[in-house]
Structure formats: structure tokens, C-alpha cells
């Protein structure tokens, strides 16, 4: 079987979210699958090491602006020339003019554009609304990251239950680092709550800032560390930061590499992840893997990922978030319980298992084709 993969999510200089998902899953598939041939295709350089002789990379040199146009217009021709049997689109969209003989599988990570459109940048919102519905219709099968996402897709797009399956991602592997410098001009604070994610409205940083203001941070000698790209629609968050009562205790490190991220996680008091909506929520498992307590939301996929190993809060209840933070601060037994449960919870999410289930779906779709 010849399989093509849209590798654009791993053509970014800084991998987040879907890029982390695809890189980790491809690595596991490459180790497991010794019979099929794979072509990783992108309009830019692909940040993935190919070690299997049956795998090849096809890289073009086109600006990001032309990414979607290239996928729709050029990728079908490439697929026909290379005689693909199957094409996998791991990030919501498929090439709509792909030859009909080529089966297509689509991975959907979330439906933010349906539930929280106001939190998205306009270009991404337009693309999601334009292409996701058409891609679902054109696709032969859909993979979802969580039961929450699968339910939302089935309900909104009215698809049959036998056309979609849930394949949980694994726990992201963060490279270890032993030294401590994180910021160019300072060390990490001794004691801090941590947020990891892109600075955008859905991540609910306003609630984090308001909850942090309700703590007695001076007395507790506690800080807040923010890790992630600047993102979009965050002017109100930045304005809130300027006037925050604990401004000197809030530290922005921006995007950091995996080695630094590992050190930051390991030394955190607790991860704060009270998102308004998530299709999965990698930071929950990253923190748990390092034995860091987690406070996250009681909505969408987050209870599904966290299980009973985190404190769950209403993302719209600032006082409830502050109360949970105070509990973690004050209760050593609670922190130790969350650490222990979280570490065990993270072990349940395996990239090997994700790869096995993904390969089963590939085979299932191709078997259905052969039987016709």
C-alpha cells in the first residue's frame, strides 16, 4: 500500500499542537509499519527524520500564503503520479480534487470554528468553515482525538457513527534538561503556577490572571509563569497584565524549546489549564508525566483526558479557579495525590497504541475498497 501524508504541520519551525501530534505519531508508525510505503508531502521543509527505506519526503519551496492552494491544486497531481492508494490528512482538511480511486482519511482535532468562532483568527476561521465540511464529505473515514470531538463532529456534520473512530494521542515526550536558565535576564522563580499554550482567547488567560489576583501571592511568595507563542486577539489580556496587582510576579517566557520546557514543568507547583474548549489538551498529560498537579476545566475533552487525576473547575468561575489554586498551595497531601495519580494517568496514553489503532483504520479503509 502506498500512503501519502499531508506533512505541513511538521514543516513549522516551532511545533505545537497538531505538529506535536503528527511528529510523534509518524515516529511511532515508522517504527511499527514495515510493509507499507509512505510519502510525506509539504510545501516547505519537513522537520522529520526518515529512517525507514520505505519512507520518502517530498518538499517544495512555497510561501505559507500558498499552502492551501498548493494542497488543493498540486497535491492531487502528485498523488496520481506516485500512485497513492491512500491519503491521510492529519489536520482537518483534504485535497478535494484527489482522484476518486485514492481513499482518504481525515483527522479532526476540534471544532473550535463551530463552538468558539470568536476565539479564532479570521483567516483560520474562514478556512475551517470553507474546507472542513467539504473534506468530511469527501473523506472515506474520520479519526477524532477524543470522544468529545467525535460527538461534536457527528452532531454538527450529521455523519454516520461507522464513519468515525476515536484514536487517543499519546503523552508528548519532552526532552530532559538539567540546567536551569530559562529567561535571558533571570532565573525561574522558586515557586510558581504554570500555564503552557498559545496566548489566544480560548485558553482563558483572563481567568488565570483574575484568579491569580485573588491569591495572597506576596505572603505565599508565589509567581505565575506563562509559556507559549503570542497568538492572536490578546490585547485585552496584555492590558490586564499591565495593571495587574502582581505584575512583577508574572513572567512571560514565550515559546521555549523542549529541553527548557522539561525543566519548567518539573519545577512547577501546578499547571493551570482552564481552557474554554479543547479537542484534547496535551499540556495536561505533559504536566502529569512530570508529576505536576493539574487544574483544568470540566468541559469538552479535558475531563476525558484528566480522569480523576486533576482538579476540575468551571472555566467561567474565577473564584472557583482561585479556590482550587489555594487548595494546591495549602494541602501537601492533595498535591502528592495529584502527582501520583497524574503520573499513572499519563502512562495510559501511548503513541505506540495510537499508531496501532491508526494503522488498523488504514487497513480497514483499504479492505473495504478491495471488497467492492
Q: How confident is the model at residue 185 (pLDDT cuts 50, 70, 90)?
A: very low
Asked if residue 147 has pLDDT above 70, the reply is yes
The residue with greater pLDDT, 185 or 357, is 357
CA distance 301 to 111: 12
**Closest listed residue to residue 268, CA positions, set 294, 245, 244:** 294
What does the pLDDT read at residue 372? 59
The pLDDT value recorded for residue 181 is 52
Does the pLDDT at position 184 exceed 60?
Answer: no
**For range 140-155, the mean pLDDT:** 97
Residue 298 — very low, low, confident or very high, per pLDDT cuts 50/70/90?
very high
- Stated pTM of the model: 0.92
pLDDT at position 10? 93
pLDDT at 207: 96
**Bigger pLDDT: 183 or 311?**
311
Q: How confident is the model at residue 25 (pLDDT cuts 50, 70, 90)?
A: very high
Q: What is the pLDDT of residue 28?
A: 96
User: 10 Å Cβ neighbour count for 347?
Assistant: 12
Residues 72-109 pLDDT 10s: 988 999 999 999 999 999 999 999 999 999 999 999 99
CATH number of 192-347: 3.40.50.2000
Residue 60 pLDDT > 70: yes
Mean pLDDT of 215-241: 87
Domain ranges of the chain: 2-170+350-370, 192-347
pLDDT at 175 > cutoff 70: no
Same fold, 2-170+350-370 and 192-347: yes
Topology of 2-170+350-370 in CATH? Answer: Rossmann fold (3.40.50)
Q: Looking at 57-61, 106-110, 169-173, which range is the least confident one?
A: 57-61
Amino acid at each position: 500500500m502506498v500512503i501519502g501524508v499531508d506533512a505541513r504541520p511538521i514543516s513549522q519551525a516551532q511545533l505545537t499542537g497538531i505538529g506535536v501530534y503528527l511528529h510523534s505519531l509518524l515516529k511511532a508508525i515508522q517504527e511499527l509499519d514495515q510493509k507499507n510505503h509512505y510519502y510525506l508531502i509539504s510545501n516547505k521543509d519537513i522537520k522529520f527524520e526518515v529512517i525507514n527505506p520505505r519512507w520518502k519526503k517530498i518538499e517544495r519551496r512555497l510561501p505559507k500564503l500558498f499552502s492551501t492552494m498548493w494542497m488543493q491544486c498540486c497535491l492531487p497531481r502528485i498523488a496520481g503520479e506516485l500512485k497513492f492508494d491512500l491519503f491521510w490528512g492529519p489536520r482537518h482538511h483534504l485535497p478535494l480534487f484527489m482522484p476518486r480511486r485514492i481513499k482518504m482519511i481525515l483527522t479532526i482535532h476540534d471544532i473550535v470554528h463551530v463552538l468558539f468562532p470568536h476565539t479564532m483568527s479570521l483567516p483560520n476561521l474562514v478556512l475551517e468553515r470553507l474546507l472542513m465540511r467539504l473534506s468530511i464529505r469527501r473523506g472515506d473515514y474520520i479519526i477524532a482525538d477524543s470522544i468529545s470531538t467525535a460527538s461534536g463532529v457527528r452532531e454538527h456534520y450529521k455523519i454516520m457513527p461507522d464513519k468515525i473512530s476515536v484514536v487517543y494521542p499519546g503523552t508528548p515526550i519532552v526532552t530532559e534538561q538539567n540546567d536551569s536558565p530559562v529567561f535571558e535576564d533571570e532565573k525561574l522563580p522558586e515557586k510558581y503556577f504554570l500555564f503552557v499554550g498559545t496566548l489566544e482567547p480560548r485558553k482563558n488567560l483572563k481567568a488565570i490572571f483574575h484568579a491569580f489576583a485573588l491569591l495572597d501571592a506576596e505572603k505565599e511568595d508565589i509567581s505565575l509563569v506563562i509559556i507559549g507563542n503570542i497568538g492572536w486577539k490578546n490585547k485585552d489580556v496584555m492590558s490586564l497584565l499591565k495593571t495587574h496587582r502582581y505584575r512583577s510576579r508574572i513572567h512571560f517566557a514565550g515559546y521555549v524549546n523542549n529541553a527548557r520546557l522539561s525543566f519548567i514543568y518539573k519545577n512547577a507547583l501546578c499547571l493551570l489549564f482552564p481552557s474554554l474548549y479543547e479537542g484534547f489538551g496535551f499540556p495536561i498529560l505533559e504536566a502529569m508525566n512530570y508529576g505536576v498537579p493539574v487544574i483544568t476545566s470540566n468541559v469538552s475533552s479535558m475531563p476525558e483526558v484528566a480522569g480523576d487525576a486533576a482538579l476540575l473547575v468551571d472555566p467561567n468561575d474565577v473564584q472557583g479557579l482561585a479556590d482550587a489554586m489555594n487548595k494546591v498551595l495549602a494541602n501537601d497531601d492533595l498535591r502528592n495525590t495529584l502527582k501520583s495519580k497524574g503520573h499513572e494517568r499519563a502512562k495510559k496514553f501511548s503513541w505506540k497504541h495510537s499508531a496501532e489503532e491508526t494503522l488498523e483504520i488504514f487497513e480497514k479503509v483499504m479492505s473495504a475498497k478491495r471488497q467492492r
